[in-house]
Amino acid sequence: MSFGAYNPEDQVLSSDTLISPMWDGDLTTLNTYYSWSSQEVNTTSGKFFLNVYASNINLPASSSAQPQFSVAYGHISGSGSAYFNSLVPDKTPTRDVYGQFRSLVYGDENTSFQFGGSSFVSKDIIVLSVARSRFKESFNPGSFFLTIKSGSNQIGLVDDSTVTTTSTYIGTSRVYQLLSGSFNTSTQVSVPSSSNYTVSGSYGIMIPDEGLIILNPRALALAPGALGGIGAIFNEYSSSQAANYFTALGQTFNINNRMVFDMISNAPTFSLQNSETVSSRYFFTRVKNSEFNYTTNPTVIDSNGNLLYTQLIYNPQTYITTVGLYNNSGDLLAVAKLNKPLVKDFTKELLLRVKLDF
């Protein structure tokens, strides 16, 4: 084994952004939605969120199926869901959902969600959450399009990344407002129909680096029309009213999660891409004519230290098959294999490019 040191000019760092479809089957647009009724009714998680799948599965038999995204309704006062304990009626799943995402987004337990500025504060939210393994580093801004339908009223929502010139942040996370618009299927880019907000603010926000789309129920509840909503009516029962309501139905789930699922599945178009920055470091391995010409294989030497093959004395030759990258302590960090051995002798020089992706 022979070693050589890399010089600073032998290394180059490069970064590329990879854009990929978000959903199973390498699909950019999701057109089918299914839920698992047992998760909604018989599990604790069903009180907080509803998982959405792309195929009609029969869990747990198809336990390998992964949710595409989840739906969660939150309310600042806990309305719309039953209490955990009748002795503490203000503690409910919807209040927990609102508080959890408020802390995640704002890092503040006392603020309220805003959609388009401090003038547009909302008491409730609808969260569409995508798993990190699916959205990777972030959503690809400009690729978002979601249709929502309530009754005969329908609206298409897009992010404002294609019409805004300045990025907006909450903490260190980028934030885009949601507007009404359409989706260009040929360019895979969403197109806002107007940059104006409703009287209740934007239709929501997209936080691409956190994998979150947070809809504004107050904007969706507006009557249809220019800068209007879809007339959606959300359940805002108090915790006691909700407890009586669910008991009468023999159900325990958060009814607003089901309502949102129905509004999305009634107009099934959800387009989104993920974005990932892949950094590559290139090592240019230069093998000069005078280097690496003698084999280090001990089987070519007899017990007296003499070469068994005299041609290696006057015409030494080696075959390079592997490049190993070591640190200064001699620890092997990475291995690059050549697709075929390369002949090396005093008449040849080689330049091998080793690429590390991370």
Weakest-pLDDT range from 89-103, 125-139, 255-269, 307-321: 307-321
pLDDT tens-digit series, residues 248-305:
665 656 789 989 999 999 988 999 999 999 899 999 999 999 998 888 888 888 888 7
pLDDT tens-digit series, residues 159-183:
999 999 888 999 999 999 999 999 9
Taking the whole predicted model, whether its pTM rises above 0.75 is answered as: yes
Contact 92, 86 (CB under 8 A): no
* Inter-residue long-range contacts of 223-231, CB under 8 Å, 24+ positions, other chains counted: 224/153, 227/180, 227/194, 227/196, 227/197, 227/198, 227/199, 228/198, 229/153, 229/155, 229/198, 229/200, 229/203, 230/148, 230/149, 230/150, 230/151, 230/153, 230/154, 230/155, 230/263, 231/150, 231/151, 231/153
Which residues on neighbouring strands pair with residue 182, listed in sequence order?
Answer: 191
pLDDT given for residue 230 in this prediction: 96
3-class secondary-structure state, position 214: strand
Cis peptide before 60, with omega less than 30 degrees from 0?
A: yes
Q: Which two tokens stand for residue 341?
A: 């051995």
